[in-house]
């Protein structure tokens, strides 16, 4: 870890892992929005931590855009960008030594929970290998962060999660989600679990909606939607 210590790693979620797969100057991992709140879980240095805080405060910037569209937002030359979508953010980072800024969304199916932010002090792009590794790491980090939040919420200890009949219904619903989205069994169950967490309900209630076709997951325009 560098000198920045205000945002240490959370249970294996570390910005240092980002630096190991890319040659960028710094990185952070943050949650965003209403589901998990806006918080930097890990930051490699003071610069990226400040960039996170600015985005949290202003509600605009690359991490918000990446989470909104569910795809990476890549700015190889931040100072000379022509898009005026982040006016307040651009003014706030005028004096920071940031030339390139990249945001990789943290997604679990239809749930968008945060972003990995990466910066460099020189104008540069992420090469194909770096981007691919960052996207793969973001997928792993997303699942880890969401599972930790669910475990801390106590959702896994609810009666619906432990009764044999409930588990059978949840497994059946998991099969439906696998068929709808072509995802792994583990990710399908995590989606059901995350939906229950987000709505303050039990996994069994979500599973019953899926089994009775009152809720289904679909893919539209390359993005996963939760239809009810």
| Kind plus residue range of the DSSP H or E element containing 137 | helix 128-153
> Using an 8 Å Cβ cutoff, are 101 and 119 in contact?
yes
Structure confidence at residue 200 (pLDDT):
82
Q: What is the pLDDT of residue 10?
A: 58
Q: Which fold has domain 154-227?
A: Arc Repressor Mutant, subunit A (1.10.10)
219 DSSP β-pair partners: 224
Strand partners, 41: none
From 205, 7, 196, 160, select the one nearest 15 (Cα to Cα).
7
For 174, phi then psi, to 5°, come to -60, -40
Question: Domain spans of the chain?
Answer: 15-139, 154-227
Distance in angstroms (rounded) separating the CA atoms of residues 50 and 54: 6
Q: What is the pTM of this model?
A: 0.77
The alpha carbons of the chain give a radius of gyration, in whole angstroms, of: 19
Beta strands in the chain (DSSP E): 26-31, 39-43, 73-75, 100-108, 111-120, 216-220, 223-227
Write down the pLDDT at residue 228: 76
Q: In this predicted structure, what is the pLDDT of residue 5?
A: 44
Q: 15-139 is classed in which CATH architecture?
A: 2-Layer Sandwich (3.30)
pLDDT at 56: 95
Q: Write the DSSP assignment of 173-207 as a string of letters.
A: HHHHHHHHH---HHHHHHHHHHHHHHHT--HHHHH
In this predicted structure, what is the pLDDT of residue 12? 63
Q: Which of 204, 52, 45, 182 is nearest to 117 (CA)?
A: 52
pLDDT at position 161 is 47
Residue ranges in the chain whose pLDDT is less than 50: 1-6, 157-162
């Amino acid at each position: 870890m560098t000198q920045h210590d205000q945002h240490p790693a959370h249970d294996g979620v570390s910005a240092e892992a980002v630096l190991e797969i890319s040659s960028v100057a710094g990185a952070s991992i943050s949650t965003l929005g209403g589901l998990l709140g806006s918080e930097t879980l890990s930051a490699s240095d003071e610069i990226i931590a400040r960039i996170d805080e600015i985005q949290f405060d202003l509600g605009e910037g690359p991490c918000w855009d990446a989470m909104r569209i569910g795809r990476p937002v890549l700015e190889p030359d931040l100072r000379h960008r022509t898009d005026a979508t982040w006016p307040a953010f651009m003014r706030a980072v005028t004096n920071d030594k940031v030339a390139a800024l990249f945001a990789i969304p943290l997604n679990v199916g239809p749930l968008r929970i945060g972003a990995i932010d990466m910066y460099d002090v020189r104008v540069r792009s992420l090469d194909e290998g770096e981007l691919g590794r960052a996207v793969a790491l973001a997928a792993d980090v997303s699942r880890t962060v969401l599972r930790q939040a669910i475990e801390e919420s106590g959702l896994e200890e609810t009666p619906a999660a432990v009764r044999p009949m409930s588990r059978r219904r949840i497994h059946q619903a998991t099969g439906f989600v696998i068929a709808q989205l072509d995802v792994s069994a583990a990710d399908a169950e995590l989606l059901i679990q995350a939906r229950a967490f987000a709505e303050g309900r039990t996994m069994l209630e979500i599973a019953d909606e899926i089994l009775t076709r009152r809720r289904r997951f679909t893919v539209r325009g390359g993005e996963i939607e939760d239809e009810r």
